[in-house]
């Protein structure tokens, strides 16, 4: 439950998302970036009263703090949670139009799938600098949000994250360089794990 936290295994092989996201990107992203957030968090918690709390509790306890030490804990804890969540949002041969409950909710909130896709891509592309694009559930309706750096909807009242796309450059630079829109559209078309989103509806 509490620290030290351990890396959750990737839900697929490092090369399983190729050619949209290649093994080298996953190797760095999971093996270096994500792992570094986790190791840094464990180190920060060694002598901290939050060390026995769950990741979610740590995020909620430190979100919005003006204290430098708490901000640093928040950043690393949220990035561990965000990446654990993100890996599950992707799957080989995923993406495209969903079916079932989510499909009806997309129709409800966006009119049709194409409008949803354009809006989600735009949300991800217009996050200035590092951050995340999110599909969320708010008041029974699908919404889109973007957050900067480590921020996430987890501690926002009444906002439930369903899917996310990492738009930090480390997520796409080796495969797409500066072409974030191409990366985002390829993820939406070919990798989104709609079963995971459906499960998150609860
Ligand atoms: Fe990342």
pLDDT at 25: 98
pLDDT at 1: 75
Give the distance (Å) from ligand 1 centre to CA of residue 168.
6
Give the distance (Å) from ligand 1 centre to CA of residue 65.
22
Give the distance (Å) from ligand 1 centre to CA of residue 158.
25
pLDDT, tens digit, for every residue of 43-99? 999 999 999 999 999 999 999 999 999 999 999 999 999 999 999 999 999 999 999
Give the distance (Å) from ligand 1 centre to CA of residue 98.
25
CATH class of segment(s) 23-88: mainly alpha
CATH class of segment(s) 101-200: alpha beta
Give the distance (Å) from ligand 1 centre to CA of residue 166.
6
SS (H, E, C) the chain: CCCCCCCCCCCCCCCCCCCCCCHHHHHHHHHHHHHHHHHHHHHHHCCCHHHHCCHHHHHHHHCCCCCHHHHHHHHHHHHHHHHHHHHHHECCCCCCCCCHHHHHHHHHHHCCHHHHHHHHHHHHHCCCCCEEEEEEEECCEEEEEEEECCCCHHHCCCEEEEEEEECCHHHCHHHHCCCHHHHHHHHHHHCECHHHHHHHHC
Residue 162 token pair: 């369903």
pLDDT at 67: 96
Residue 106 zone, left/alpha/beta (φ > 0; ψ -120 to 50; rest) = alpha
The domains of the chain are located at: 23-88, 101-200
Give the distance (Å) from ligand 1 centre to CA of residue 108.
31
Name the pTM for this structure: 0.97
Do 23-88 and 101-200 come out as alike in CATH topology?
no
pLDDT at 15: 98
Peptide bond into 145 cis (omega under 30): no
pLDDT at 145: 98
Tell me which residues of the chain have a pLDDT lower than 50: none
């Amino acid at each position: 439950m509490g620290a030290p936290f351990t890396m959750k295994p990737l839900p697929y092989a490092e090369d399983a998302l190729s050619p949209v996201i290649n093994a080298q990107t996953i190797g760095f992203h999971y093996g270096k970036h994500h792992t570094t957030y986790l190791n840094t968090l464990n180190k920060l918690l060694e002598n901290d009263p939050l060390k026995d709390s769950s990741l979610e509790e740590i995020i909620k306890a430190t979100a919005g703090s003006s204290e430098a030490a708490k901000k640093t804990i928040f950043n690393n804890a949220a990035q561990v949670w965000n990446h654990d969540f993100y890996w599950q949002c992707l799957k080989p041969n995923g993406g495209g139009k969903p079916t079932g409950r989510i499909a009806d909710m997309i129709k409800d909130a966006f009119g049709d799938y194409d409008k949803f896709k354009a809006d989600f891509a735009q949300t991800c592309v217009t996050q200035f600098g590092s951050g995340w694009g999110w599909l969320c559930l708010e008041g029974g309706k699908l919404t889109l949000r973007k957050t900067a750096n480590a921020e996430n909807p987890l501690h926002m009242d009444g906002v439930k994250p369903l899917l996310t796309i990492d738009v930090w450059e480390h997520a796409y630079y080796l495969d797409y360089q500066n072409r974030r829109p191409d990366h985002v559209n390829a993820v939406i078309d070919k990798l989104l794990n709609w079963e995971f989103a459906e499960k998150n509806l609860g």
